[in-house]
Structure 1
């Protein structure tokens, strides 16, 4: 049976993000998937990586990668071990979260810092094209407070696809195939009158359409990344390889 992991990073269980995540879960279950949940706020997941999570000698400086690598060979923190088990079981991972201050919530960033543990989900030899989670797909389902126009490539709030690129590349580091984000814009509590009515209709349509989106999951477009062999021995993009993102580009 295929498995889908839903990762929800929103503190309000009555939020649209939570409803949207439930719609993804329901649609996945209807396809016969085993649905796994990581509702990070409901779990009380601690997003702050630090020495206290480990049996770390007080007289030594804390090195997160070394601590994670050692724990991966011995005993991982229980909350991290639980998340690792979910990630390993899942064939699909669907993230639901809002954009706050031009980035995913700190809860989700901290989940990446801790749950994507060195030695357990990546190593110097197993990353990017050889990542440990290759063969699995991830989708980012995102809300913004800004409008679609403001979130566009030339929008005042910044291109949402570029704002999401660091998270997408984090997941790419693990070997995952990352699908193009799905965004619902203008989601905030300050709409009034006709604008509030229009928002409610848009949100309802998004929820109603999620079953179709999930049914067509394997046909959704993917984000293009430069392959490992596109970089030279120093890790720089080869002159004869195209740049596929402003984050990795040839000198102007």
Structure 2
């Protein structure tokens, strides 16, 4: 059976007594028991800086009169001049074959401190290029997953729920961040409304059980990059012949590539044939 050697947990919660902390601890215990080396980036404890600024670059800027963050940090990464906190996180990520993002859902997304980790760590050159993205992404040999708690019940996040379909909510993070960088994206672990749940211990045990076989899980399904014309100009759209083929489909290809059709059920929450 395939097994990884290193896992990274990027963790964002202020309280060591939180349910998120308990979820993190279960992951550390379960993965360590399987022989993983587990690295944890406790972002609040680290006082990790969320804002992307010129302070992220050591030495002179390429263009101090017009600071363009993406350009400056890419050059700094190439030259080994990124700030120490970014370089340390990139070193952890390079080691890890499995990455778990553990957080409470804030305003339908992740906390600002974790978004800052993404903004500052997953920079161009290190995490992606326009030639190396999606199926051909730099991290295509790594797996990643979101594990998070919600303040609302599961029913609120159904297609007819007051908050709307959770699959739509997850698309920007799972496709726009993780898969864009090449990660094989595992189904999210969602802890629905633990603050008001009488079965929190059962939630933790289900998480522990899942982690016992996480290394053989099938990733979520995304539209293959080869479906799209990646040429300039006017490219980066579904190839015409595939558009004709998809015309007869009952559902769209993915949550976002819906082609005006009903969304494929559970596209961002369950792997096909799982």
Same fold (TM over 0.5): yes
Which among 203, 208, 218 is matched to residue 206 of structure 1? Answer: 203
Which consecutive residues of structure 2, in runs of 5 or more, have no partner in the other structure? 247-251, 262-274
Q: Which residue in the other structure is 2:238 paired with? A: 237
Please give the per-residue CA displacement for 1:98-145, whole angstroms capped at 9, x wherever unaligned: 111111111111111101011112112211111111111112111111
Q: Within the alignment, does 1:171 sit opposite 2:175 as a pair? A: no
Q: Which residue in the other structure is 1:71 paired with? A: 76
SS in 1 for 2:194: coil
SS in 2 for 1:7: strand
Q: Structure 2-normalised TM-score? A: 0.83
Superposed counterparts of 1:143-158, under 5 Å: 143-158=149-164
Which among 145, 148, 151 is matched to residue 139 of structure 1? Answer: 145
SS in 2 for 1:157: coil
Q: Which residue in the other structure is 2:123 paired with? A: 117
Which among 146, 169, 188 is matched to residue 181 of structure 1? Answer: 188
CA shift in 2, pair 1:49/1:207, >3 Å: same
SS in 2 for 1:150: helix
Q: Within the alignment, does 1:16 sit opposite 2:22 as a pair? A: no
Superposed counterparts of 1:18-97, under 5 Å: 18-54=21-57, 55=59, 56=61, 59-74=64-79, 75-97=81-103
Q: Give the ranges of 4+ consecutive aligned residues of structure 1 lying more than 4 Å apart after TM superposition.
A: none
Moved more, 73-82 or 23-32: 73-82
Q: Give the deviation of 1:58 after TM superposition.
A: 7.6
8 Å CA contact retained: 2:5, 2:97: yes
8 Å CA contact retained: 2:56, 2:73: no
1: CA distance, partners of 2:75 / 2:209: 43
8 Å CA contact retained: 1:95, 1:141: yes
Cα RMSD after superposing both structures: 1.8
Q: How many residues align?
A: 242
CA shift in 2, pair 1:69/1:58, >3 Å: closer
1: CA distance, partners of 2:161 / 2:260: 25
8 Å CA contact retained: 1:180, 1:222: yes
1: CA distance, partners of 2:192 / 2:218: 20
8 Å CA contact retained: 1:68, 1:117: yes
Please give the per-residue CA displacement for 1:136-160, whole angstroms capped at 9, x wherever unaligned: 1112111111101101222111222
SS in 1 for 2:103: strand
Which consecutive residues of structure 1, in runs of 5 or more, have no partner in the other structure? 192-198
Moved more, 238-247 or 17-26: 238-247
CA shift in 2, pair 1:119/1:100, >3 Å: same
1: CA distance, partners of 2:62 / 2:37: 41
Superposed counterparts of 1:102-113, under 5 Å: 102-113=108-119
